[in-house]
């Protein structure tokens, strides 16, 4: 049933109208890290000019495209937008009134006036209001960031939520001056806006009110609405093509002074936020700012009028990356113990970990071990091995060639996790990246990136081409507030990752990825099975695995946040107990018994030892399926 709730904004405020290194210290270092202060002027300057490495902020507009949906559900594709199906050949009970696309552009939903929902491609069906007697017709649809749910809005402002779409309020119990005509979700998916035909704005959840045309006398009614890329502003469009901008949405032009053959029915911004398209009911397209013209149906005779449009963009495919540690040495292979003896332990049976590997206290120099580990990662559905790297000449650097060779043999990509080695600066990192790029590495994850101010990072990162550079961000309060994402954008990073699997709850990921999207960054949240580092570090901090429930909850939360990549902490960081590498039950003569995976996911014996590899595969497959 339509929800009931409070309305914010509405017609109360008038806006402006235009145009019509050791494992023991890893979490402690992260927790102590504070983003260097940026003055408002410096931050604004870098926000305006810095371009992150890769294509996160300024994607190739030629790789974008758009769909148009007609009232009979016919779909018209242009540019990079792909056709996944339509209802054009079906007899519908009620006309299609709008559409929404998945973030990856691999599917879309059509919504009908009776609340019916039609899903195509990887857009999953989560329910509809098609069999519910409605007080008012449905006029809009919006999807959650992860594509695991959507909202429908009726002309009275009643909200219908499905899947993971949360109900945040409605105007269903309010007497409106004018009917609701459209809705849109915030970047986090924790809020939404409704807009009425007079331009009145109603904001719910974390949607902010930036102004409206509710008290302005309009030449023609408002018919469409879209938020800016950051979610800190929005666009309204009237049926004559007049465009009204609020917050940080920038006016790029309109058709308000042009005589149109047919009325405008929708507006869609470009992925960069530097332009937008208007579409008319005959499928005519009007492109402004950096919006390319890919084609239209303006010269075609349509069976039914166009009622909606959606935009696709260049977007990385679903990728799963796992943090990997090649820092182990064994007496039989290397003539010395390394890392297994952390915390004063005596390998091979007594190791610096709360768990014991099936492979025993192995060596990262052992080609057979590396080959088996890469087999594990492939079986787990991992695409990228993010290998820990502690500077040129370090133990991990010397093992890099072996990791790359083993990964290549199994079709895995290798990325570098640039750790906080002694003497590290932005200047040395620049040299490191040149060195590592010569080995074929093009993705870099920089741990504790905010150790250095954005002003140090920006000139270097702006000079890069053909690479992606991800910033490890923290502490958690700055990540949640959005200041970490603002730092990463000002510095020029491609994206951000969290690594820490203790500080964040499943509900945090929508906020984390929302702030990343608001700053046009790729979001690579980190998930892990738990944390337990007592034997290696003496740390009393524990995040229990809870028989696998912790891992499932974090994965589910990450997918609901709509990530671009998911990073796994970790494949084999045994000191902190975050590993998914197979473990075995083992007890020492002292009576101490290591923790193990027995009973996790209701598995026992050999099956339990690989429980977390199997579960990673389960979630990786769901991620790729868009569910």
Q: Is residue 454 part of a domain?
A: yes
Q: For position 64, what pLDDT does the model report?
A: 87
Q: What is the pLDDT of residues 327-340, one digit of tens each?
A: 999 999 999 999 99
- Region 574-597 average pLDDT: 98
Give the residue with greater pLDDT, 273 vs 372: 372
Last residue of a domain, one of 296, 312, 328: 312
Contact yes or no for 289/274 (Cβ under 8 A): yes
Tell me which H or E stretch contains 429: helix 426-437
Alpha-carbon distance values, 140 to 47, 151, 204, 231 (Å): 33, 8, 16, 18
Exposure b/e, 216-225, CB count within 10 A at least 16 = b: eebebbbbbb
Task: Give alpha helix (H) positions in 25-177.
Answer: 26-32, 40-49
Tell me which H or E stretch contains 491: helix 483-491
Domain count within the chain: 2
- Looking up residue 93, the CATH number of its domain turns out to be 2.130.10.10
Contact yes or no for 585/545 (Cβ under 8 A): no
- Looking up residue 327, the CATH number of its domain turns out to be 3.20.20.80
Q: For position 132, what pLDDT does the model report?
A: 87
- State whether residue 550 is helix, strand or coil: helix
Residue 285 and residue 417 in one domain: no
Residue 346 and residue 300 in one domain: no
Residue 327 and residue 293 in one domain: no
Tell me which H or E stretch contains 247: strand 243-247
Confidence of residue 2 (pLDDT cuts 50, 70, 90): very low
Q: Is residue 20 part of a domain?
A: no
Residue 303 and residue 366 in one domain: no
Q: Is residue 25 part of a domain?
A: no
Measured between alpha carbons, how far is 567 from 520 in angstroms, rounded to an integer?
A: 19
Q: Which domain holds residue 554?
A: 319-625
Measured from the Cβ of residue 344, the count of other Cβ atoms closer than 10 Å reads: 9
Q: What is the pLDDT of residues 29-84, one digit of tens each?
A: 444 444 333 333 322 322 222 233 333 333 344 468 999 999 999 999 999 999 99
Last residue of a domain, one of 312, 340, 367: 312
Lowest mean pLDDT among 11-20, 197-206, 466-475, 480-489: 11-20
Confidence of residue 313 (pLDDT cuts 50, 70, 90): confident
Q: Is residue 442 part of a domain?
A: yes
Measured between alpha carbons, how far is 617 from 279 in angstroms, rounded to an integer?
A: 42
Q: What is the pLDDT of residues 258-274, one digit of tens each?
A: 899 999 999 999 988 88
Structure tokens at 52: 């992150």
Task: Determine the distance from the C-alpha atom of residue 313 to the mean position of all C-alpha atoms in its chain, rounded to a whole number.
Answer: 14
Q: Is residue 350 part of a domain?
A: yes
Q: For position 315, what pLDDT does the model report?
A: 67
Q: Is residue 471 part of a domain?
A: yes
Cross-strand pairs, 194: 183, 202
Last residue of a domain, one of 284, 312, 340: 312
Contact yes or no for 543/527 (Cβ under 8 A): no
Q: Is residue 125 part of a domain?
A: yes
303: left (phi over 0), alpha (psi -120 to 50) or beta: alpha
Measured between alpha carbons, how far is 432 from 469 in angstroms, rounded to an integer?
A: 13
């Amino acid at each position: 049933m339509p929800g009931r709730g409070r309305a914010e904004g509405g017609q109360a405020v008038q806006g402006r109208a235009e145009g019509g290194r050791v494992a023991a210290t890893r979490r402690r270092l992260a927790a102590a890290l504070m983003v260097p202060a940026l003055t408002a002027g410096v931050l604004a300057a870098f926000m305006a000019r810095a371009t992150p490495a890769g294509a996160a902020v300024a994607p190739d507009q030629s790789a974008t495209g758009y769909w148009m949906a007609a009232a009979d559900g016919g779909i018209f594709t242009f540019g990079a937008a792909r056709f996944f199906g339509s209802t054009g050949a079906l007899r519908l009970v009620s006309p299609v009134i709008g559409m929404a696309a998945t973030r990856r552009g691999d599917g879309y939903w059509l919504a009908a006036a009776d609340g019916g929902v039609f899903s195509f491609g990887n857009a999953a069906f989560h329910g509809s209001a098609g069999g519910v007697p409605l007080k008012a017709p449905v006029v809009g649809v919006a999807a959650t960031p992860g594509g695991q749910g959507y909202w429908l809005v009726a002309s009275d402002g009643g909200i219908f939520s499905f899947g993971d779409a949360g109900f945040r309020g409605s105007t269903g119990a309010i007497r409106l001056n004018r009917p609701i005509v459209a809705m849109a979700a915030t970047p986090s998916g924790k809020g939404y806006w409704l807009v009425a035909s007079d331009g009145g704005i109603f904001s719910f959840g974390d949607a902010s009110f930036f102004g409206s045309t509710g008290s302005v006398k309009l030449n023609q009614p408002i018919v469409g609405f879209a938020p800016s890329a950051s979610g800190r502003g929005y666009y309204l469009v009237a049926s004559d093509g007049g465009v009204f901008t609020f917050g940080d949405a920038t006016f790029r032009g309109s058709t308000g002074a042009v005589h149109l053959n047919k009325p405008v029915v929708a507006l869609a911004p470009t992925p960069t936020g530097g332009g937008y398209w208007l579409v008319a009911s005959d499928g005519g397209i009007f492109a402004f700012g950096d919006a390319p013209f890919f084609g239209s149906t303006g010269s075609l005779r349509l069976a039914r009028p166009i009622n909606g449009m959606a935009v696709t963009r260049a977007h990385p495919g679903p990728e799963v990356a796992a943090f990997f540690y090649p820092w182990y040495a064994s007496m039989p292979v290397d003539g010395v113990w390394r890392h297994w003896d952390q915390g004063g332990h005596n390998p091979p049976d007594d190791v610096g970990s709360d768990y014991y590997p099936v492979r025993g206290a192995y060596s990262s120099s052992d080609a057979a071990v590396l080959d088996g580990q890469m087999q594990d990662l492939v079986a787990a559905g991992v695409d990228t091995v993010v290998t820990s790297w502690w500077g040129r000449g370090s133990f991990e650097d010397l093992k890099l060639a072996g990791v790359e060779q083993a990964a290549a043999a199994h079709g895995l990509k290798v990325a570098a996790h640039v750790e906080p080695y002694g003497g590290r600066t932005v200047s040395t990192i620049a040299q490191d990246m040149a060195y590592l790029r010569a080995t074929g590495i093009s993705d870099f994850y920089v741990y504790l990136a905010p150790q250095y101010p954005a002003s140090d990072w920006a000139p270097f990162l702006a000079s890069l081409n053909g690479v992606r550079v991800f910033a490890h961000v923290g502490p958690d309060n700055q990540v949640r507030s959005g200041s970490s994402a603002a730092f990463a954008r000002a510095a020029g990073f491609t994206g951000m990752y969290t690594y820490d699997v203790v500080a964040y709850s499943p509900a945090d990921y929508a906020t984390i990825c929302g702030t990343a999207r608001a700053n046009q960054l790729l979001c690579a949240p980190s998930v892990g099975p738990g944390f337990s580092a007592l034997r290696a570090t003496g740390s009393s901090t524990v995040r229990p695995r809870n028989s696998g429930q912790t891992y499932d909850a974090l994965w589910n939360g990450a997918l609901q946040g709509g990530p671009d990549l998911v990073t796994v902490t970790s494949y084999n960081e045994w000191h902190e107990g975050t590993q998914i590498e197979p473990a075995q039950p083992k007890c020492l003569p002292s009576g101490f018994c290591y923790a193990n995976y027995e009973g996790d996911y209701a598995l026992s014996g050999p099956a339990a030892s690989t429980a977390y590899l199997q579960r990673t595969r389960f979630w990786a497959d769901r991620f790729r399926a868009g569910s």
